[in-house]
């Protein structure tokens, strides 16, 4: 018979007693298939713990009065560090965990402690949560969670009542809808938080707000389709545990970049009904969300965090990997095994030199793509995932596996191409088929439209136009090289102005300094390199303010940033809420703000609605005109023998070809970009940018001699407004060589039919 032990029903930690465990009856059919899986009359179980001397599978049962009891079975092995077995009689819904026996030697990085119930890294679902108490630490700590006496002394208290348990699930799902597989050339990414997107969306029923189901509600989908985005990129939905220092401040890790389990969805994002129905219902809600978005023609990408876990630094809690195989999963100092190497700023770093770490990440990705049905991934601090002993390498086994895996290589793969380690900035250096977030694009466009005008208003010169032209044309300096001749091409550049991390679009034009006081870190957190401009006054301004005359210029600056993003070569990414002018009150690091600071307010009245129409109009133009979304780097010459125009040409404000001295002149603030539409069967596109503080008379270039039709002007508050103007309607047609007036700090898009 198995050993059955009652667990503490109160919240007091009890000493752990090892009364032994019965050997699991059978062998797993495939010992290398990690996790707990329904198989025949029970479950097959396998877990990696290479330094262990014994591993117990612990089945946790819950009595009607909430009392927990535990049945323990010794797993067989190890086989190449894997412990496994088959246990009959176990069905879906069963809670479980592991207890690992082995050497306790903190100086050697070995922290085995069977008093700690460990979460299966491969658990598909979770029950319960983690309570921040001393007992969840493998070493003895006081109520302040600091090691007693400053030393790592093994803690004897049972952690089972205070930690999350894995749950065996039957994860079959009959309603799956295949993703739309949007080509990169047509992709527009919309970065959003499951909770923050719908918490205040009035058309979503209250019981669905802030949930997976709410994200897939018809009202949410209607907004996304009206906007014209193709691909929703969700901030992490893997199960998480907030950093202890946040919990003790009464805050939480809202963004979710602190992973507890790489296979289980975060249960608190599910509806209350699903949570009460159990972990299988939570998983079904996630799959239903993905399928409903697919049915609406929208892709789903997941932001995934494989660079570190929520177990933190060496004195953090022991919840899963640390207790299973501390030295096998985490990157340690080669000279001091007890010391963790932190490339992430989060206390620990997963060691991607290790086979089982690479396998864990790949198995997780295959599960989410193959079983849940998501269409791709954005990799947080992706440089960490490509580090070997000498540093980052594009030919790292993990990256090679992504590029060659029959399933994963067909998904959208996006890197955040930096981490905090040596040589951590690697934008443009990841291999195909990955795309990279392009922070150089963000910085350059912010500088041109905001930082430089702010400097000019104070009498200082800004930057010249070379970097701006490089970003508009697809960042060939970053993405033009690689294993394939010509590099990955401009579509590998994920262009963005804002992201979850940093100012929102509205705050970029309203604040010059961060205001992160609500984070309770003395406003020391968050970047100081915002490249923002408040246009004269810090913070929000009511319409009746004496300084209200700057509000139209702030709105025009937002439109300039958006317009530049959506005509630049590359894959554009919008941040949820920017399309309606969402503000975070100047907080540029609201990772711990699960409240109105982070949630979208969903105002669609007044100028907020006008901005929404502007973004929708720009995306419609981009969708309808392939000349606005080139898929190849320009050569500066005609692409076909019968074309008289180069594929890309640059002109100054006089309509003349840009000369070298113009490119190097920081006072040159007018730039015209002409793309030939003939190679893609489209009209020619002329983009005119005036980055000066003064109105400019700009002469349009000759092109191929056809008239230019003005299709968008950032001076328009609303796209349709110019056609409906009752006084002084603008002539939308202009001839080559004609001089036209451009407002200060504005841009235009013309099409030559």
Query: Which positions are catalytic?
Result: 380, 416
* Residue 205 tokens, joined: 């029923």
Instruction: Name which of 236, 237, 240 is nearest 259 in CA terms.
Output: 240
Residue 163 · residue 115 · CB < 8 Å: no
Instruction: Name which of 344, 502, 330 is nearest 419 in CA terms.
Output: 344
What is the helix (H) or strand (E) element at residue 684, kind and residue range? strand 684-690
* Residue 64 tokens, joined: 């009607």
In this structure, which long-range contacts are made by residues 680-683, counting pairs with CB atoms below 8 Å and at least 24 apart in sequence? 680/626, 680/627, 680/630, 681/626, 682/625, 682/626, 682/627, 683/625, 683/627, 683/751, 683/752, 683/753
What is the helix (H) or strand (E) element at residue 661, kind and residue range? helix 660-663
Separation of alpha carbons 541 and 507, rounded Å: 12
Cβ count within 10 A of residue 296: 17
Instruction: Name which of 438, 444, 397, 398 is nearest 415 in CA terms.
Output: 438
Range list of H helices, 296-320: none
Separation of alpha carbons 662 and 489, rounded Å: 27
* Residue 730 tokens, joined: 């603008």
* Helix (H/G/I), strand (E/B), else coil: 467: helix
Phi, psi of 231, deg, nearest 5: -140, 120
% helix, strand, coil for the chain, step of 5: 25, 20, 50
Dihedral angle, C-alpha 583, 589, 592, 596, nearest 10 °: 0
Residue 26 · residue 75 · CB < 8 Å: no
Cβ count within 10 A of residue 29: 13
What one-character-per-residue DSSP string does 17-35 give? -----EEPSB--SSTTS-E
């Amino acid at each position: 018979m198995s050993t059955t032990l009652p667990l503490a029903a109160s919240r007091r930690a009890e000493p752990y007693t090892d009364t032994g465990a019965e050997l699991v009856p059978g062998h797993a059919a495939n010992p290398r298939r990690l996790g707990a899986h329904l198989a025949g009359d029970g479950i097959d179980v396998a877990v990696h713990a290479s330094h262990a001397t014994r591993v117990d599978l612990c089945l946790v049962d819950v009595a009607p009065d909430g009392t927990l009891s535990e049945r323990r079975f010794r797993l067989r092995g190890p086989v190449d560090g894997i412990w496994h077995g088959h246990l009959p009689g176990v069905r879906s819904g069963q809670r479980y965990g592991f207890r690992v026996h082995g050497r306790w030697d903190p100086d050697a990085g070995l922290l085995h402690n069977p008093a700690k119930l460990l979460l299966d890294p491969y658990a598909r679902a979770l029950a319960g949560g983690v309570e921040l108490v001393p007992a969840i630490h493998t070493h003895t700590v006081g109520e302040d969670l600091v090691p007693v006496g400053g030393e790592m002394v093994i803690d004897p208290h049972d952690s089972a009542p205070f930690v999350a348990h894995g749950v065996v699930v039957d994860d079959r799902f009959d309603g799956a809808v295949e993703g739309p597989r949007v080509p990169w050339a047509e992709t527009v990414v919309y970065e959003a938080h499951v909770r923050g997107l719908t918490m205040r969306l009035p058309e979503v029923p209250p019981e669905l707000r802030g949930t997976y189901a709410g994200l897939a509600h018809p009202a949410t989908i209607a907004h996304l389709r009206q906007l014209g985005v193709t691909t929703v990129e969700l901030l992490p939905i893997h199960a998480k545990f907030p950093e202890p220092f946040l919990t003790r401040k009464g805050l939480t890790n809202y963004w979710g970049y602190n992973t507890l389990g790489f296979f289980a969805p975060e249960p608190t994002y599910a509806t209350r009904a699903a949570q009460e129905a159990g972990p299988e219902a939570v998983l079904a809600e996630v799959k239903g969300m993905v399928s409903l978005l697919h049915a609406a023609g929208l892709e789903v990408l997941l932001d995934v965090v494989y660079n570190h876990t929520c177990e933190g630094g060496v004195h953090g809690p022991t919840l899963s990997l640390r207790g299973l195989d501390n030295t096998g999963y985490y990157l340690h100092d080669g000279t001091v095994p007890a010391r963790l190497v932190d490339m992430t700023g989060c206390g620990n770093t997963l060691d991607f030199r290790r086979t089982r770490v690479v396998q864990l990440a790949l198995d997780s990705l295959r599960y989410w793509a193959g079983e849940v049905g998501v269409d791709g991934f954005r990799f947080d601090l992706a440089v960490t995932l490509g580090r070997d002993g000498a540093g980052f390498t594009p030919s790292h086994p993990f990256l090679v596996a992504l590029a060659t895996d029959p399933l994963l290589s067909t998904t959208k793969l996006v890197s955040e191409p930096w981490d905090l380690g040596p040589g951590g900035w690697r934008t443009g250096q990841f291999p195909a088929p990955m795309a990279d977030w392009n922070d150089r694009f963000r910085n350059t466009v912010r500088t041109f439209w905001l930082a430089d005008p702010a400097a000019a208003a104070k009498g200082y010169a800004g930057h010249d136009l070379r970097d701006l032209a490089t970003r508009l044309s697809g960042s060939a300096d970053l993405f033009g090289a690689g294993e394939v001749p010509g590099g990955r091409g401009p579509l590998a550049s994920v262009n963005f102005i804002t992201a979850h991390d940093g100012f929102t679009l509205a705050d970029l034009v309203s604040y010059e300094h961060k205001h992160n006081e609500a984070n309770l870190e003395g406003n020391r957190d968050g970047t100081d390199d915002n490249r923002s401009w408040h246009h004269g006054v810090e913070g929000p301004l009511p319409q009746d303010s004496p300084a209200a005359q700057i509000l139209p210029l702030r709105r025009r600056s937002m439109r300039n940033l958006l317009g530049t993003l959506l005509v630049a070569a590359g894959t554009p990414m919008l941040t949820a809420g920017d399309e309606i002018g969402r503000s975070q009150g100047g907080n540029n690091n609201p990772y711990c703000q699960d409240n109105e600071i982070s949630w979208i307010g969903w105002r669609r009245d007044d100028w907020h609605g006008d901005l929404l129409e502007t973004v929708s109009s720009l995306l419609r133009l981009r969708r309808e005109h392939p000349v606005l979304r080139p898929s190849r780097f320009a050569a500066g010459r005609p692409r076909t023998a019968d074309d008289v125009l180069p594929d890309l040409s640059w002109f100054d404000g006089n309509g003349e070809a840009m000369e070298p001295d113009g490119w190097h002149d920081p006072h040159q603030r007018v730039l015209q970009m002409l793309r030939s539409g003939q190679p893609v069967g489209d009209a020619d596109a002329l983009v005119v940018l005036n980055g000066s503080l003064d109105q400019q008379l700009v002469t349009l270039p000759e092109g191929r001699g056809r008239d230019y039709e003005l299709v968008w002007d950032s001076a328009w508050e609303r796209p349709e407004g110019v056609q409906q103007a009752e006084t002084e309607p603008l002539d939308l047609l202009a001839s080559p060589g004609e001089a036209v007036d451009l407002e200060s700090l504005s841009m235009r898009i013309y099409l030559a039919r």
